[in-house]
Amino acid sequence: MLSVSAWGEDRVSPVIKINEEAAKAPIETVSVRDGISVLMGSGGNIGVVTGRDGKFMIDAGIAVSRPRVEAALNALGSQPVRYLVNTHYHWDHTDGNTWLAGKGVQVAATSGTIKRVSQTTRVDDWDFTFKPLPKAAVPGTVVASSKHWTVDGQTITAIKVVPSHTDTDLYVTIQPADVVFLGDLFWNGVYPFIDNENGGGIDGMVRVLDRILPTIGDKTVVVPGHGPVGNKADVKDFRDMLAGIRDKVAALKKDGKSRDEVVAAKPTAAWDAKYGHFVIDPDFFTRIAYDGMR
């Protein structure tokens, strides 16, 4: 996970900070099951399923990490990457589409991701405007509700969800390996970014996790979009943190408190020691929670 300082200190867009770190950060490869790995260090976590005839990737990372991502992929075997699924539209999960598509990789995503990476998208919370991806890098396969692939006996399923982190998200299950890649529906041990401007909201995050949690077993390996590999208990803790902060912020908002007054009330205090040390600091996350309540 990239260790950049909280945005609020100097108001430099976190996109710029994360890109700068991704340009030099090493890629760590974590094996989670036989043939299933996670590459960490290029923005969002990258999943790789390595089969006899090829590799299947879950998210593409940031393009400036390409040399180190390619080296990590090659270290897993000489098989080419054949398929890629983007869990959502954010650049730290889709920016690598460009070089991967150039190698003939087939890319899949929700229609929302396809729409957003095809156009200029402004995210005021990041103070950044994203340009569209090159046409060849736009996913060519639509995940309308769910889609399946098979790699060496493993069934890989991409499942679209309702608006939550954004309005473009899906997650991926791998069976019988019992591995789940939740993308940015789950940030393990850190406060998440929720893209209120592009369909997201804290209520949606809690709602989607409430639907997913019963499908996760006690022995399931759960890979977050950011942070270390986790398990069902980690997801439950994350869900409870979101719901707890949502309820505190909602109560303050109902009492007529302004956003600044809500931030000053420190509604995240009970969770800051565990979650408050990444790009999204406690005050930033409080603002996100406040703005996302409609």
**Which stretches of the chain drop beneath a pLDDT of 70?**
1-11
Listed residue (256, 248, 246, 227) closest to 289, CA to CA: 246
Report the DSSP pairing between strands 221-226 and 55-58: unpaired
pLDDT number for residue 278: 86
Angle ∠(2,242,204) on CA atoms, nearest 5: 100
Listed residue (55, 104, 62, 108) closest to 86, CA to CA: 108
pTM of the model: 0.95
Report the DSSP pairing between strands 221-226 and 179-187: parallel
β-bridge mates for residue 181, sequence order = 172, 223
In this structure, is the dihedral angle defined by the CA atoms of residues 55, 60, 61 and 67, taken in order, positive or negative? positive
pLDDT number for residue 268: 98
User: What pLDDT digit, counting tens, does each position of 51-83 carry?
Assistant: 998 999 999 999 999 999 999 999 999 999 999
| Phi, psi (degrees; rounded to nearest 5) at 116 | -75, -35
In this structure, how many other beta carbons lie within 10 angstroms of the beta carbon of residue 247? 13
pLDDT number for residue 10: 54
pLDDT number for residue 11: 65
DSSP string covering the chain: ---PPPGGGT---HHHHHHHHHTTPPPEEEEEETTEEEEESSSS-EEEEE-SS-EEEE----GGGHHHHHHHHHHT-SPPEEEEE-SSS-HHHHTTHHHHHTTT-EEEE-HHHHHHHTS-EEEGGGTEEEPPPPGGGS--EE-SSEEEEEETTEEEEEEE--SSSSSS-EEEEEETTTEEEEEEEEETTSPPP--GGGT--HHHHHHHHHHHGGG--TT-EEEEEESS-B-HHHHHHHHHHHHHHHHHHHHHHHTT--HHHHHHT-TTGGGHHHH-SSSS-HHHHHHHHHHT--
pLDDT number for residue 14: 83
pLDDT number for residue 113: 98
